[in-house]
Structure 1
Amino acid sequence: MTQSDTGTPAPSSRVSGIGRLLIAVYGVLALAATGRSFVQIVRAYDEAPLAYTLSALAAVVYIVATIALIKRSALWYRIAWTTISFELLGVLVVGTLSLVDPALFQHATVWSVYGSGYVFIPLVLPLLGMWWLRRHPVALAEGRS
């Protein structure tokens, strides 16, 4: 454990090993979803506003989740749980709707068919993220930054 500028021990990081890999995958997915949604919105937003807006929402969720997994505080821990839970809900709802009523999503989103366009990583990633958060909790007494 290292010491901070105040001489108190700095909290150990949960960003090691599998945690680093998880954060890297979230980061790559954040970049991919951001790029995809940007291109979709600029090129043909009027063709599928719902699908393209959902792609942009997914990008924001992945960006916030990536940051929240990197940060180590009780506040960011709660943000990580919230964004990853929202991500899982989004994947399940959009994935199911894209199968039940394909007319809703004639243009694919990141979460269509449970993330099949991304090798189902959007379906598996939140489950891994929740597992990781459960295994590496942050004490509520830690700061809010």
Structure 2
Amino acid sequence: MVQTGSPRTSGIGRVLVVVYAILALAATGRSVFQILTKFDTAPIAYVLSAVAAVVYVVATIALVARGPRWYAIAWATIGFELFGVLVVGTLSVVDPVLFPADTVWSFFGRGYLFIPLFLPVLGLLWLYQRRPSKREQIEEGVAGSRR
């Protein structure tokens, strides 16, 4: 069950959640439109945009949800996002023919004002500063074993 109202959703955390939610909506809309209307022109690019959309949706949920498990999911999705931006961004610069159409992560997120490049770095730094205490990890482990 997703519980909201965690300390991760206050201050800068709230800004991160809002930006992730906006990117989730934008990437989802873009990828659905691309896949439905012109999939045959650049299937890899459009599937990568859909992958980015899923990553942004899961990251948004994980940033809002409480507990060490959701913290780990946030860390994994945002880490995957950074990896994706760096790999797709590098490939799109080195060999632009690989991506005949832009993805969310092409050219390091150029189409999104490079937010996809900087956001995961900020997100990971912010998560690191708010990592769960040993007590929270133990409590979740005990609660998880009772299910």
* TM value normalised by structure 1: 0.89
Choose which of 79, 83, 94 in structure 2 pairs with 1:85.
79
Who is 2:118 aligned against?
A: 124
Choose which of 123, 133, 137 in structure 1 pairs with 2:131.
137
1:30·1:62 contact (CA, 8 Å) conserved in 2? yes
The CA deviation at 1:72 is 1.3
Matches within 5 A, 1:92-111: 92-111=86-105
Classify the secondary structure of the residue corresponding to 1:143: helix
Choose which of 14, 27, 40 in structure 1 pairs with 2:34.
40
The CA deviation at 1:142 is 4.0
Choose which of 7, 10, 21 in structure 2 pairs with 1:27.
21
CA 1:18 to 1:92, structure 2 compared with 1: closer, same or farther past 3 Å? same
Classify the secondary structure of the residue corresponding to 1:107: coil
Classify the secondary structure of the residue corresponding to 1:138: coil
For the residues of structure 2 that align with 1:32 and 1:12, how far apart are their CA atoms?
Answer: 25
2:6·2:65 contact (CA, 8 Å) conserved in 1? no
Deviations 1:81-125 (A, max 9, x none): 100010000000000000000000110000000000000000000
| Structure 2, unpaired ranges of 5+ | none
Percentage identity across paired residues of the two chains: 61
Who is 1:67 aligned against?
A: 61
The ranges of structure 1 where at least 4 consecutive aligned residues each deviate by more than 6 angstroms after the TM superposition are none
Amino acid aligned to 2:34: Q
Matches within 5 A, 1:10-25: 13-25=7-19
Count of residue pairs brought into register by the alignment:
135
2:23·2:56 contact (CA, 8 Å) conserved in 1? yes
The CA deviation at 1:15 is 1.1
For the residues of structure 2 that align with 1:31 and 1:43, how far apart are their CA atoms?
Answer: 18
For the residues of structure 2 that align with 1:55 and 1:34, how far apart are their CA atoms?
Answer: 8
Classify the secondary structure of the residue corresponding to 2:7: coil
Classify the secondary structure of the residue corresponding to 1:25: helix
| Structure 1, unpaired ranges of 5+ | 1-10
Classify the secondary structure of the residue corresponding to 2:66: coil
1:84·1:129 contact (CA, 8 Å) conserved in 2? yes
Deviations 1:31-73 (A, max 9, x none): 0000000000000001100000000000000000000000111
